[in-house]
Structure 1
Amino acid sequence: MGTTLTGQFETRREAEMTVERLVQEYGVDRASILIAAAGNENSAGEEQAGSDRAAGSPTPESRDDAALHGSIVVTVDLSDEELAGKVRAAFVEFEAFDVEQD
């Protein structure tokens, strides 16, 4: 029997780091992972992080136009309960909130 885990992240970077951990270290198939904005608008998360922040010198002018319209949702469909534990651990490591299991 399969399980679906869903978690929300404040930044795109946290969501992407979680996905990379799942794929590269735990062997989760990328086709089993869905990443989406929590709301109806495109979103890079609730706060700037990673490539949305200004870089060190030399850098182009600062930008403040990141689409910060809510959290990023990561959904993972799994058939292996042992793997589900690793997914939950990755969600915790990268500070997911509102984690749900179906």
Structure 2
Amino acid sequence: MADDSTTTIRATFETREAADLAVEHLVQQHGISRPDIFIQSATDRNSAGSAPSGGDVSHEEGARRDVPLAGEIEVSVDIASSQVTAVERSLGDAGALSVSSR
């Protein structure tokens, strides 16, 4: 009998750029549909991450000051239990600070 139970995976990232990369890994490498992936602040504050990156940084002016850097970004997804190990590895490869499942 196949195990068809689902597991919620949560990963935190320092930057929105790293979270977006993780989403691309989930979609392209694991065939997870984008509407099944959730991105939000890991805290109760609005945040673009805890460090500037990508569009948050200007070569002329440095880090933008209009973007709140008030905490990490969380990516979560419900997956088949059989995918847990591979998805956790992909999230780590994308730069996750921490990965947990329940």
Fold agreement, TM-score > 0.5: yes
Distance 1:36 1:51 in 2: 18
Q: Deviations over 1:37-90 (max 9, x none)?
A: 0112211100001111114xxx6x553222101000011101251x32221111
When you count strand as a share of all residues, which structure comes out higher? 2
Tell me the amino acid that sits aligned with residue 91 of structure 1: L
Residue in structure 2 matched with residue 29 of structure 1 by the alignment: 33
Residue in structure 1 matched with residue 74 of structure 2 by the alignment: 73
Structure 1 spans left out of the alignment, 5+ residues: none
Instruction: Give the length in aligned residue pairs.
Output: 97
Query: Of the candidates 51, 58, 71, which is equivalent to residue 54 of structure 1?
Result: 58
Q: Please, what TM-score do these two structures have when normalized by structure 2?
A: 0.84
- Runs of at least 4 residues of structure 1 off by over 4 A? none
Distance 1:29 1:39 in 2: 25
Tell me the amino acid that sits aligned with residue 24 of structure 2: E
